[in-house]
Amino acid sequence: MIEILVANKSHVKYAETVCSLMYESALKRGTGIAKRSPEYIAKKMEEGKAIVVIDDERLIGFSYIESWQHKRFVANSGLIVDPDYRNTGLARKIKRAIFDLSRELYPEAKIFSITTGLAVLKLNSELGYVPVTFSELTDDDDFWKGCEGCRNYHILQENDRRMCLCTGMLYDPEKRKAADSAESDNAMDMIPYKVLSPKRIAKLKKNLRKIHLI
C-alpha cells in the first residue's frame, strides 16, 4: 500500500535512494538540479521537514522544506518520483503534502520555487503560486549557493542572480488572504434573489409595481 508520510528518523535509511533518484532525474531532464548529500537529506528527515512516499518498504517519492531569512521565506525542494510511478498523479499529491506541511510549520512565510519543469510550474499554479522575478525571492546567499551543483549555475552568475533557465514562483500568504477576501466580497455582491429575506422581497416587489415592471 502506498503511504504519503511526514518523514522522521526511521526514514533516514532512504537518504541514499533519494539522492540517486535526484541525480537520475537531473540527467533525464538535462537541465541540472542542485545537488544534496545523503547527510543533508537525512537531516531533513530527522527534523520532520520532508515528505516521503513509501510503497511496501520502497521509497517512491520525496520532497523537502528549506527556510531562509529567519523563516520569512520557505522553499519546497527536491520533488522526485520513482520512474516506475510517474504519470500516476503522485507528483501532485507530494506537492500538495509538502505545501500543506510548509503552511503548518511556517504559516507566515512566503513559499517560493525555482524550476525548469513544466509539470512543477502547473502544480505550483494550482496551489496559488504566481510567477515572479528572482528579486522577489530570498536574497540569502546560502540558498543561491545551493545552485552551484546545477549545470546551469554559470548562467545565474553571468546574470548577477537576476535570471537563469529556471522560473521563479511565489506563494505569498498575505496576498493570497487578500485575494480570497476580495473573491468572497464579489460573491456576496451576487446574492441570488431567493435568499433575500421575505421583508426585503416584498419591498422590492412593491417598488417594481410602482414603475410597472411587474
| pTM attached to this predicted model | 0.78
pLDDT at 117: 82
| 40, 16: one domain | yes
pLDDT at 51: 98
| 30, 132: one domain | yes
Domain ranges, residue 193: 174-214
Question: Which residue do the cell numbers 520512474 mark?
Answer: 83
| 95, 143: one domain | yes
Angle (CA) 158 117 111, round 5°: 80
Collapsing DSSP to helix, strand or coil, 115 comes out as strand
| 49, 141: one domain | yes
Residue-wise pLDDT tens for the chain (214 aa)?
Answer: 999 999 999 999 999 999 999 888 877 766 555 678 999 999 999 999 999 999 999 999 999 999 999 999 999 988 999 999 999 999 999 999 999 999 999 999 999 999 888 888 999 999 999 999 999 999 999 899 888 878 888 999 999 999 998 999 999 999 988 877 776 666 556 655 456 667 776 776 677 666 655 4
The torsion angle over the Cα atoms of residues 177, 91, 111 and 12, rounded to 10 degrees, is 130
CATH number of the domain within which 149 lies: 3.40.630.30
**Rounded to the nearest 5°, which phi and psi values hold at 60?**
-125, -5
| 115, 187: one domain | no
| 156, 205: one domain | no
| 179, 127: one domain | no
146, three cell numbers? 545551493
> Is residue 152 within 8 Å of residue 193, measured between CB atoms?
no
pLDDT at 122: 92
